[in-house]
Amino acid sequence: MTTGKTDPDIAHHAALDERMVRAAGGIKVLTLASWPAAHATAFLADHARGVERLPQVAYPRHDFGEARAELAAIARQADPDHPLGQYLIDATGSWETAARLCEALGTGAVTGLSRQLYGDPDAALPGNGPSARVAAQHFIGIADQFNRELVSPAEQVEISATALQLQLQRDLDDYFNERRIEVVLDPDLIAKAAAGATRIRLRSGAAFTDYDRQQLLQHEAFVHSLSALNGREQPVLGSLALASPRTTATQEGLATFAEQITGTIDIARMKRLSLRIEAIARALEGADFIEVFRFFLDAGQTPQEGFASAQRVFRGVPTGGGDAFTKDTVYLRGLIGVHTFFRWALRQRQLRLCRWLFAGKMTLGDVQRLAPLFESGVLHPPRWLPTWVARANGLAGMLAFSLFANQIRLDTIEDTGFADI
């Protein structure tokens, strides 16, 4: 295979990819579905006085008709028998669904479109496992049982967003030996943090712990930001720099796996992720915003945290119950999927696929389908890698142990005990 845009098939699909990037430019699901900060201020002020009112969020109307027509045209012109063509067909389909979701903001139609993009809390996890909701309930139960026992007082010391901004900025400048990513404060951010290619935002006024610092470094910076920066280095597929909805499960799974394999995920973090999944399931069953807000309070969150958590569940949908924005169901499904993929890659002697996952924002299926293009040089390997991926021997050692340990049945241990060990 000849490399680069001199190959007619490569050139054809590279041109289609450039068109897709332009067409998808304004389809920013999370940005358009976000609530203005004034809703939090009003709701929390009412709550402090003992008054609770359902937030009523007005969303601007959007028309992505031209973009959807262009995306459909790109899909028609892509060759389904070429790996780049199949990638473009899948990607344009996802962007088209995302565009329809943005056009439907504020209506119940967002729920179904959200499920298409991000999945459902009752869907089975990879490998015919239990549902994400069942897994979430499992982690919530463990956290409730052991949280106080496992968390030391030192781990509960909080730092301000401003202090964390300075610490993360220093960490990132040291990693790159220059200012590649800027850490900024954002008072309007729903999540405690969010990452783009060159900027990480922290919610102003939020309190953080040292665990949060390490999680943000591994999750936001060394997965979300690095994959976007590496995507910008690609000479053929510029779309690999975009946070496409179809890559969300893999991206969030990879980021959460990074927390796990570096030992920076804690039981409180697992509980937070799991509470969001349970809250989505409850909203779909009919719980309204206030009921979901109370659910988070009962789980130990502060009113500010509870509002931010409930807000994530009701982004873009009516707040009266029966609807939900299901994006947060991807964390556990993605984590299980990525963990399984890494173990499979070790068994198949294809750990290079794990490194290539950082070359841009891809799904697990994409990196396998595009492997011949990495091997031929059409696609470039990642310029930047997290330390835990770059050190292949260490990664292989951890995965090899995981492969073996997963064969051990705990029920037999319970029967025989540890006397002879």
Computed over every residue of the chain, the mean pLDDT equals 90
Which pair of structure tokens corresponds to residue 8? 């007619």
Instruction: Report the b/e string of 83-92 with b at 16+ CB within 10 A.
Output: bbbbbbbbbb
Give the pLDDT of residue 275.
97
Which of 341-345, 358-362, 388-392 is most confident?
A: 358-362
Average pLDDT over residues 270-276: 94
150-195: per-residue pLDDT in tens? Answer: 555 545 678 899 999 999 999 999 999 999 999 999 988 877 888 8
Asked whether the predicted pLDDT for residue 418 surpasses 50, the reply is: no
Average pLDDT over residues 116-140: 90
Looking from the CA of 110 toward its CB, the CA atoms found within 13 Å total 25
Asked whether the predicted pLDDT for residue 392 surpasses 70, the reply is: no
Which pair of structure tokens corresponds to residue 234? 């690609």
Domains of the chain, by residue range, sit at: 28-63+104-406
Give the pLDDT of residue 410.
45
214-253: per-residue pLDDT in tens? Answer: 999 999 999 999 999 999 999 999 999 999 999 999 999 9
Average pLDDT over residues 89-98: 98
Average pLDDT over residues 262-268: 85
DSSP letter, residue 159: E
Give the pLDDT of residue 188.
81
- Least Cα distance to 387 among 377, 379, 376, 398 occurs for 398
Residue 310's contacts (CB-CB under 8 Å, 6 or more residues apart) are 279, 289, 292, 293, 295, 296
Which pair of structure tokens corresponds to residue 228? 């976007």
Asked whether the predicted pLDDT for residue 131 surpasses 60, the reply is: yes
